[in-house]
C-alpha cells in the first residue's frame, strides 16, 4: 500500500515538473532525442529491414529484434573491424588528452605567476591561435610530418633541416601530435583563468616558507585547480574521440583496420549498403565511450568551466 502511494506521489511530482517545462524546451529536447532513439531501435533490427519499413514499426515486430548486429560489429577482423578501431582510437585519444593538459598546466602557471619580458604579448599570441582554422594547416602539417621541414638559403645553397623526415602518416602519432597541438591554445586559456583567480597570498606564503615554483605548482596550484583540470581533460577526451578530419588526413596511409572509429564509420556509412542496422550498432558502440565519460564526470565540466569565471 505504501509503495503504491509513493509511486503515485512520484508520478504526480514528475507530471508537475513536466507541466512547468516550457514547450520550446520540450521541442529542443525532442529534436535531439528522436534521432538517437531511432538509431538505438534500428541497431536491433535485422539487416535489410530499413529498406522496407521505418524504425517506428519495431514495436509491432518485437520478435524480429536481434543483437546479431552488435556481434558483427564487435567481431575482430570483420568487415566493420570496430574492435581494432576502438584500440586505435584509444591510442590516439589518451596521449592527445594527457599531453596538452600537462603542457597547458605548466604554461598557464608561467603566464599567471612568472614575471618575464613579453609575457602579455606571448599570452595573447598563444590564445589568438584559437582563431586559426584547423583545416588550413592540415596539408602543410602532413607535408612536414612526411617530408620534414627544410630551410634553403638562396645565395649559399645551404639547407638547414628544421624538422627531419619522420614518416608519421602510417600511424597514430601524427594524429595525436596534431590534436594535442591544436588543443593547447584553449587549454592554456582555460587554465590560466583558473590559476589567475587563485589567491596570490597562498603562493607568497609558500615562497616565504622556502617553496620554489615547482613545489608551489604541484602542492598548491594543482590541488586547488582539480575541477578545471578535470573539466579540460574530459572535454579534450570527448573532442579527440569524436575527431574525424585530423586522423582522416594525417593517417591517410595507415592500414584501414587500424583507423580510429570516426574514420572507420565514415568509410562504412559512405558505402551504398552502409546505412543499415549494423552501421547503427557501430555508431552506438563508438558513442558509448564518450557518453560514459561525460555522464560519469559531467559535474566536473560545469564546475571547472565556472571556476575562473566566478572567482572560486
Give the tens place of pLDDT for each residue, 28-49.
878 888 888 888 888 888 777 7
**Mean pLDDT score, 186-203:** 88
Residue 151, classed as helix, strand or coil, is: strand
- Over 60: is that where the pLDDT of 7 sits? no
Neighbours of 99 (CB within 10 A): 18
- What is the DSSP code (8-state) at residue 46? P
Neighbours of 49 (CB within 10 A): 18
pTM: 0.80
Nearest to residue 256, comparing CAs of 102, 106, 82?
Answer: 82
**Mean pLDDT score, 253-262:** 80
Residue 15, classed as helix, strand or coil, is: helix
- Grid cell digits, residue 100: 596538452
What's the pLDDT tens digit per position in 273-295?
Answer: 556 788 888 888 888 898 888 88
What's the pLDDT tens digit per position in 89-147?
Answer: 999 999 999 999 999 999 999 998 888 888 889 999 998 988 888 888 888 887 777 77
pLDDT over 70 percentage in the chain? 83
pLDDT over 90 percentage in the chain? 15
Sign of dihedral through CA atoms 103, 105, 110, 112?
positive
Amino acid at each position: 500500500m505504501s509503495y503504491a502511494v509513493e509511486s503515485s506521489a512520484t508520478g504526480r511530482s514528475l507530471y508537475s515538473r513536466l507541466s512547468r517545462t516550457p514547450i520550446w524546451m520540450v521541442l529542443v529536447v525532442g529534436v535531439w532525442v528522436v534521432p538517437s532513439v531511432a538509431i538505438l531501435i534500428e541497431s536491433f533490427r535485422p539487416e535489410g529491414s530499413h529498406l522496407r519499413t521505418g524504425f517506428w514499426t519495431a514495436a509491432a515486430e518485437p520478435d524480429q529484434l536481434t543483437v546479431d548486429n552488435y556481434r558483427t560489429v564487435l567481431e575482430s577482423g570483420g568487415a566493420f573491424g570496430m574492435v581494432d578501431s576502438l584500440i586505435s582510437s584509444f591510442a590516439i585519444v589518451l596521449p592527445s588528452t594527457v599531453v596538452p593538459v600537462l603542457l597547458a598546466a605548466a604554461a598557464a602557471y608561467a603566464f599567471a605567476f612568472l614575471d618575464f619580458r613579453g609575457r602579455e604579448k606571448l599570452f595573447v599570441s598563444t590564445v589568438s591561435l584559437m582563431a586559426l582554422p584547423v583545416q588550413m594547416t592540415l596539408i602543410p602539417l602532413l607535408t612536414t610530418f612526411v617530408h620534414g621541414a627544410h630551410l634553403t638559403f638562396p645565395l649559399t645553397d645551404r639547407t638547414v633541416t628544421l624538422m627531419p623526415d619522420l614518416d608519421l602518416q602510417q600511424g597514430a602519432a601524427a594524429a595525436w601530435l596534431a590534436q594535442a597541438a591544436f588543443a593547447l591554445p584553449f587549454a592554456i586559456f582555460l587554465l590560466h583563468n583558473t590559476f589567475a583567480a587563485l589567491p596570490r597570498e597562498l603562493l607568497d606564503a609558500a615562497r616565504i616558507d622556502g617553496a620554489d615554483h615547482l613545489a608551489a605548482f604541484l602542492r598548491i596550484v594543482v590541488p586547488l585547480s582539480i575541477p578545471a583540470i578535470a573539466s579540460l581533460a574530459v572535454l579534450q577526451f570527448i573532442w579527440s574521440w569524436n575527431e574525424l578530419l585530423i586522423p582522416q588526413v594525417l593517417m591517410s596511409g595507415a592500414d584501414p583496420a587500424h583507423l580510429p572509429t570516426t574514420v572507420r564509420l565514415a568509410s562504412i556509412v559512405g558505402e551504398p549498403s552502409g546505412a543499415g542496422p549494423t552501421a547503427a550498432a557501430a555508431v552506438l558502440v563508438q558513442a558509448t565511450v564518450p557518453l560514459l565519460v561525460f555522464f560519469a564526470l559531467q559535474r566536473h565540466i560545469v564546475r571547472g568551466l565556472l571556476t575562473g569565471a566566478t572567482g572560486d
